[in-house]
Chains A and B, each alone.
Chain A
């Protein structure tokens, strides 16, 4: 289940995966980011505030999304991490690549 908000700006999409972001749901996110970027919304924020659990496949989808967005001249940012998601990101040192933001608004306003 994925909520998509495209009202923020013409080149922005906010994606909010609900529940568990695992090998079952990760391909959906991966595909959605690819479609979003292709449609010209190259600044993608993944709002993880409704994501209860993230596994390595979920991480893989975020990294793949980041690559896709950067290749199109945009960016992918993540916001609103819960404790489990934050732990996974910290352990893998991927917070160096995917810097977490407190909220969607912060992710959008940061340079």
Chain B
């Protein structure tokens, strides 16, 4: 029980701390320095409560970071010593009216030495998934009461900080544009079913999925993964998609990727970005699927007879070298065969190693259509509490 009587949730064990830290990282605010949108809130809080300082604090695995502070100067410190670490263990406001009289913190260096904290009130901040990733807190160098009215105000301000952390109108618009860049409907190819899905871990992401039919009825499909997350990755993703779309005239997927890579090399190098992708063309009549892998590596061919093959030995990701030539592989899809490609975010749903492939094979085994395979895999990804990375899935099945 904390100083103001709220009960600490003991179910919130450190075992869950990894996903909490990931939720914090996914907000993309740890590496962005001071931001006015938070500074104006801490300024306001410091004046409103007339305290020595107000701050927005973020707690990762080991450290407490001051995202914004106003008033007496505060510095980053070990999480283990921070009062805010106690605050995020509960969902209520934590008030310690006299820190020096609280045996847990009375001998802490920030109480006995500068900034001589004697009063603390903090409210936890939640990421969209409900993980408590930081606090808005006010401190003073003398003990003081902090009644229900003040606690309500602090809670209000914490809600504002939380909105700033998780919402951005521009990000929503970007997400909408990106959704529109995804194929809207599956191509209708007699004798085949084709399906795909893209689940960004944030509003926008670096994964992409594309398909189109050329005039000679060949189906071209691409699944790509741009390094990084969020808006920066999304901008590059749109560029890569456009470059690949412009290669429709090239003789095959290997030549297409080599051509697109040459177009993109300078931009990717300039932005220090890597892109992995697989790109394939299907001739529906013969069932021949020609494919090229650029450091993606996650394609599976599940034969109707139950055998499974994973093509290996592709080329490097795009953005590494301007001398790379991407080789082309070829398989023939027979009736009942299923080809699945997916982004590495799906591996992370399991243990992040190739052992996860066996689980993927298990999950899609026996699927009667491409859509069913995609549905099963996305259900799996949606089932995890928190997506670490974007998850994108593509499936082509030749009907019996």
Contact = CB atoms under 8 A, between A and B. Distances in A.
A48 to B, nearest CB: 14
Contacts of B142: none
Contacts of A30: 272
A18 to B, nearest CB: 9
Interface in B248-300: 272-274, 276, 295-298
Interface stretch (B41-49, B121-129, B157-165, B311-319): B311-319
A91 B344 contact: yes
B352 interface: yes
Interface residues of B, number: 33
Nearest to B61: A19
A92 interface: yes
Given A23-B31, A92-B317, A93-B315, A83 B353 contact: yes
A24 B61 CA distance: 13
Could you say which interface size class chain A belongs to?
Answer: 20 to 34
A83 B355 CA distance: 10
Contact of B62 (A1, A86, A92): A1
A81 to B, nearest CB: 11
B295 A55 contact: no
* Top 10 A-B pairs, shortest CB-CB distance: A91-B297, A92-B295, A56-B227, A84-B352, A87-B353, A83-B353, A24-B25, A60-B227, A93-B295, A24-B30
Interface of B: 21, 25, 28, 30-31, 61-62, 225, 227-229, 272-274, 276, 295-298, 314-317, 320-321, 344, 347, 351-354, 388-389
Given A24-B31, A92-B274, A93-B297, 8 more contacts: A23-B31, A23-B229, A56-B225, A60-B227, A63-B274, A91-B298, A92-B297, A92-B317
